């Protein structure tokens, strides 16, 4: 009997180890590679063999990469702030006010967030050319709204629906208008949800590739994902793997740290966005 439970335990932990290994290994290997240069790069190692910071020095001295990072930070933050600003008031209306067509409206918003982005590419391209923001960060900020805004509205609506009704009613009796209720009562109560939603939207905007690829022309306007995808070596046939891995690690580590810090909240945000429906 104990033999059997022991065997079961070992099998269970073996599965756990395999899950963790598969999850973590590619990132671990990227870090490993990022510290390798020259011919070291072409020897397969499973454990750290050399610590050469040259890739990191190179990528940080490469002005274009820094520029792309700044572009990405600016674009993702602006998009998120913009989306949250519009979404907070909209989600109050969707969560707390009864009106005809509310269900349909919510569904439409969800549908927009599930949009194939390619379907609007041609129209957006025209719009962006028309406004004259092609090849500027504003092109991305405008186009990212198409997925960040519905997402934030949807998630905040589910969070806002869960706030107790009586607190809102107490505020109404106290003479609070809907605007005061949102800004002075709900926002302070919802800030964890706002942070989570904002973070998820930020990650979405940070990782976006199709629009960033299409709406930028010059290297200085690229965002991080495009820059990494386009990173090339001295010759066309040589891929600078060490450099690419160093850049990848640099843009991923902050994200991984953020995600691990906000682990629990992110899961609740994802569930709110995905499951509660």
Smaller CB separation from another protein, 57 or 122: 122
Burial of 21 (0-12, 13-18, 19+ CB in 10 A): exposed
Nearest to 212, CA basis, from 194, 232, 233, 230: 230
Nearest to 221, CA basis, from 97, 120, 136, 110: 136
CB of 18 to another protein, least distance (A): 10
CB of 137 to another protein, least distance (A): 15
CB of 220 to another protein, least distance (A): 19
Output Rg (C-alpha) for the chain, integer angstroms.
23
CB of 119 to another protein, least distance (A): 4
CB of 50 to another protein, least distance (A): 15
Smaller CB separation from another protein, 112 or 195: 112
C-alpha 207/C-alpha 75 separation (Å) is 11
Smaller CB separation from another protein, 60 or 90: 90
Q: Are 140 and 223 in contact (CB under 8 A)?
A: yes
C-alpha 88/C-alpha 159 separation (Å) is 11
C-alpha 137/C-alpha 133 separation (Å) is 8
Q: Are 50 and 31 in contact (CB under 8 A)?
A: no
Smaller CB separation from another protein, 196 or 214: 214
Smaller CB separation from another protein, 30 or 60: 30
């Amino acid at each position: 009997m104990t033999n059997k439970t022991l065997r079961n335990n070992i099998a269970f932990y073996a599965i756990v180890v395999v899950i963790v290994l598969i999850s973590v290994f590619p990132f671990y290997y990227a870090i490993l590679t990022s510290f390798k240069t020259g011919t070291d790069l072409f020897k397969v190692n499973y454990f750290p063999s050399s610590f050469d910071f040259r890739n990191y020095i190179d990528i940080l001295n490469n002005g274009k990469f820094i520029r792309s990072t700044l572009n990405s930070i600016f674009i993702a933050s602006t998009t998120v702030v913009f989306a949250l600003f519009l979404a907070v008031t909209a989600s109050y209306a969707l969560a707390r006010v009864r009106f005809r067509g509310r269900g349909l409206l919510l569904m439409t918003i969800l549908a927009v967030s599930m949009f194939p982005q390619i379907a609007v590419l041609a129209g957006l391209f025209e719009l962006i050319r028309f406004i004259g923001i092609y090849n500027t960060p504003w092109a991305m900020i405008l186009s990212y709204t198409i997925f960040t805004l519905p997402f934030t509205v949807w998630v905040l609506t589910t969070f806002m629906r869960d706030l107790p009704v009586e607190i809102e009613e107490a505020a109404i009796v106290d003479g609070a208008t809907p605007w005061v209720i949102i800004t002075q009562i709900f926002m302070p109560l919802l800030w964890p949800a706002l942070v989570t939603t904002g973070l998820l939207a930020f990650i979405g905007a940070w990782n976006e590739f199709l629009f960033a690829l299409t709406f930028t022309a010059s290297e200085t306007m690229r965002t991080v994902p495009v820059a990494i995808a386009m990173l090339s070596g001295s010759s066309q046939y040589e891929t600078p793997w060490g450099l690419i891995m160093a850049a990848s690690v640099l843009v991923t580590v902050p994200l991984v740290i953020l995600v691990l810090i906000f682990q629990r909240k992110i899961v609740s945000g994802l569930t709110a966005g995905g499951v509660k429906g």
